[in-house]
Amino acid sequence: MSENPFESRIGKEIDNESEMIFDATSEALSKPNPSLEYCTLTVEETFDRLGTSGDYGLESVAEVGRRRLAFGVNEVVSEDDESVWKKFIMNFVEDPLILLLIGSAVVSFIMGNIDDAVSITLAIVFVVTVGFVQEYRSEKSLEALNKLVPAECHLIRCGQESHVLASGLVPGDLVNFKFGDRIPADIRIVESVGLSIDESNLTGEQEPVHKTAQEVSKESYNDQPFSIVPISDRTCIAYMGTLVKEGHGKGIVVGTGKNTSFGSVFEMMNTIEKPKTPLQLSMDKLGKDLSLVSFILIGFICLIGVFQGRSWLEMFQISVSLAVAAIPEGLPIIVTVTLALGVLRMAKRKAIVRRLPSVETLGSVNVICSDKTGTLTSNHMTVSKIWCLDSMETKSNSLVLDKPRTTNYRNYLTEDVKATLIISNFCNNASFSQEHCKHLGNPTDIALLENLSKFELQDLRFQTKKVHEIPFNSRRKFMAVQLIEPDGKCSLHVKGAFEKILEQSATYLNKKGKPERLLDSHRRLITETANSLASDGLRTLAFARAELPNANDKVSEDAISGLTFTGLVAMSDPPRPTVKPAVESLLRGGVHVIMITGDSENTAVNIAREVGIPIINPQLSVLSGDKLNEMTDEQLANVIDHVSVFARATPEHKLNIVSALRKRGDIVAMTGDGVNDAPALKLADIGVSMGTMGTDVAKEASDMVLTDDDFSTILTAIEEGKGIFNNIQNFLTFQLSTSVAALSLVALSTTFKLPNPLNAMQILWINILMDGPPAQSLGVEPVDHEVMKKPPRKRTDKILTNEVLQRLSMSAFIIILGTVYVFIKEMAEDSQVTSRDTTMTFTCFVFFDMFNALACRHATKSIFETGLFANKMFNYAVGLSLLGQMCAIYIPFFQQVFKTESLSLGDLVFLLLVSSTVLIADELRKLWIKRNALNDPYLYSNV
């Protein structure tokens, strides 16, 4: 966690930004919403309020036209009128480093250095264009909302049913919908038959929601902020973009376009501006620091020259040239290329990064807020345990179904277990799709069907005739199926909540298949077992059956009684096997992992412990959605350091959590897949969406998409991000130490009225090496897996840390000392500057540069640990640079260009010995760090 986040300028900016976002979000949530308003009204009140009917819909075409003028078309569109060109131009003036480079190009052009001006201009255009394309693509998130609105719908208007474009709907329209339809607007349901709707793209919960026409009691929610009925509890509302999974229904349109629940998300998305990444903040700071150093350098050189009696114009030209040379114009290109290569590497590891700077930000993340379903877990319900009263006898003695595959479960198939499995087969609406080669339907039903194969049982539904079905709903809490079996008997099979099944049960089935009287002691044992399974984080269902005397009479809900209890089945969504090692690695690296789920606290705590998230004290480590609603932002920020699990949380809570964390100065990664997750994904420093389960809106609002929906992929992405930042620091060390050394040589010769040791062409060649292949090859250095042991970087940390500055200063000092030594030694032999003197000095500096590049491959590890030839691109770059240097001193044409002459083999050996001191010194520094690390491991982890 960050320290004193409110004391820094950046911390205050984040605090203010989060306040503005939260205020806007609270306003959007508290704003009267049609679905909120109409969910508490009866069907008749809805008709009266909207002037419509449940048979004919709106009865006037003129009224439809008037409402369309008042409410607009049923679309969610962006109102951003800013032109693409204006956005592109703004990228040139918002980055201090780019502004500094523009100034350098202008000065170079005025001074007649056309080559420098052109190269700097091309660098600027390249960097700005790549960044703009990435940003422009990320701003397409709002457009993805329109994909959720179906193209057509079934409309009843003026008593006539028609198939029309959904964009033409207005409040008061009557709409029909059935299995497979996507809801075209926010609709108040007036009729429903076994209606279940998948709201996962809105709420994030995978279980379909049963819908009825019954209004919601508003009094039950008076204790909620703004007396809001939560989205998931508005059971008489069908939301735009959700999908009908079962049954059919009819409803009145109450909200269109921006007046829908998706419209509220749109408003929040408009409010939120993607925050700058830590790398962008660091590069901004670096640009300002380089500007300051440049101006100080200009003033210093000018004053010295003037005091020496030189003309103002001459000194201005010298100092401006030095200042321009001080700016590593290749830096933005190298950063961009390094990030782009990181994106390509991460794509191979199933993480698609949508914004280049986000690659490095991953390495700075110190808090990860993760969904449970599908991210930490496999998003596939599995039957874990079966318990039957007679076969198991005690509450702790259940049939565990996660044993090795060699286990023959058929050996455990007593009559009560078999009956339980058969009932789970009959009370089931899932089916196997030949097209998709898998079961489709409710996740619970799929788990029950897949469980049959463990016991070598077949699907028996095709051998029976279904007479009647009573569907499951949240009020009834059970499902019943009336069947005629192959032998002609009529039977009733029931599954549901154990308390409901027990209420209607009079007997239980023993292990020999005979009914026995259900005593109070039996009921207590069943209740204790069911509660014990639930406390283990398992979803528990009870099963029962009854024989019916008459196959022609359909059993009503109220007539169900006298059932024979057969057993309990407990299911779970098991954690992914890769998650626990990933969580442990993140915790060791100082990353706070928080799980956010809509499950109960017991279930959430059990899953958290299974995946390795520490729960020391549930009262401190677990925070429910109800408690979260009662807390202010400041209260949440104060306690969130101890919270590892948010239970009964809604997607709206995610925005509060991200806001609180960012106020503290934390760098937050947030996972999500639903539409309602989009604002939190956009506000987070790193928004991570799911590639398989995620909606288009969530993907467009995120910075990274996990193609496998696996949490452990985030770990590999963080490792890559940390490695990239290390590489950026390494090539910055190389570039700036070279730049400081070259400038210091010229400044020293000017100050002490010595001849210039390097001519213009030689300085140009050194600049090419500084910004060219050797520097760029440092950006693709293989990632060191030990980076995960380092704590996350703070948002306010500089890219040029004290350690980096000390390292580059030491290297620059050795290069200056060695080069000056060679220059003075050679000049002393003939008391004047000859071409041999400058050739020796020039070659010495280039050799120093190559050894310095080798030393900069890793900050703390010896080149013998990293592998002398591990980075192939670096080997090629250094080899070509040395070949180019040999051409400069041995080929006659280049000798004329660079004013050099041939050197003997002895000269080269001497220069190699002198220039290798920069590598030797750095190796000694690394050895000193390693020895100190034995006494203080934290010191080593922070270097």
Q: Which residues are catalytic?
A: 371
**Residue 302 to residue 316: CA distance in whole angstroms:** 6
**Residue 286 to residue 268: CA distance in whole angstroms:** 33
Cα–Cα nearest to 700, from 78, 129, 239, 180: 78
Phi, psi of 800 (to 5 degrees): -95, 85
Helix (H) or strand (E) holding 252: strand 243-255
SS3 446: helix
Contact 888, 894 (CB under 8 A): yes
- Pairing relationship of beta strands 645-647 and 465-470 according to DSSP bridges: unpaired
Instruction: Give the helix ranges, DSSP H, for 427-577.
Output: 443-452, 498-503, 520-535
Contact 792, 363 (CB under 8 A): yes
Cα–Cα nearest to 271, from 705, 671, 659, 694: 659
- What residues are paired with 668 via a beta bridge? 367
Which residues neighbour 292 within 8 Å (Cβ) at sequence distance 6 or greater? Answer: none
Phi, psi of 329 (to 5 degrees): -65, -20
**Residue 308 to residue 754: CA distance in whole angstroms:** 13
Full 3-state SS string of 505-521: EEEEECCCCCEEECCHH
Q: Residue 470 has which token pair?
A: 């009573």
**Residue 481 to residue 467: CA distance in whole angstroms:** 8
SS3 431: strand
**Residue 14 to residue 663: CA distance in whole angstroms:** 6
**Residue 905 to residue 707: CA distance in whole angstroms:** 57
Instruction: Give the helix ranges, DSSP H, for 640-755.
Output: 651-663, 678-683, 696-701, 712-751
**Residue 299 to residue 295: CA distance in whole angstroms:** 6
SS3 285: helix
**Residue 847 to residue 914: CA distance in whole angstroms:** 9
SS3 543: strand
**Residue 889 to residue 839: CA distance in whole angstroms:** 7
Contact 13, 662 (CB under 8 A): no
Give the rounded distance of the alpha carbon of 266 from its chain centre. 20
Q: Left (φ > 0), alpha (ψ -120 to 50) or beta: where does 208 sit?
A: beta
Contact 190, 250 (CB under 8 A): yes
Contact 149, 2 (CB under 8 A): no
Measured CA distances, 314 to 111, 323, 736, 762 (Å): 12, 14, 26, 21
DSSP per residue, 676-692: GGHHHHHHSSEEEEETT
Q: Residue 832 has which token pair?
A: 């004047």
- Pairing relationship of beta strands 367-371 and 243-255 according to DSSP bridges: unpaired
Cα–Cα nearest to 440, from 176, 153, 198, 193: 198
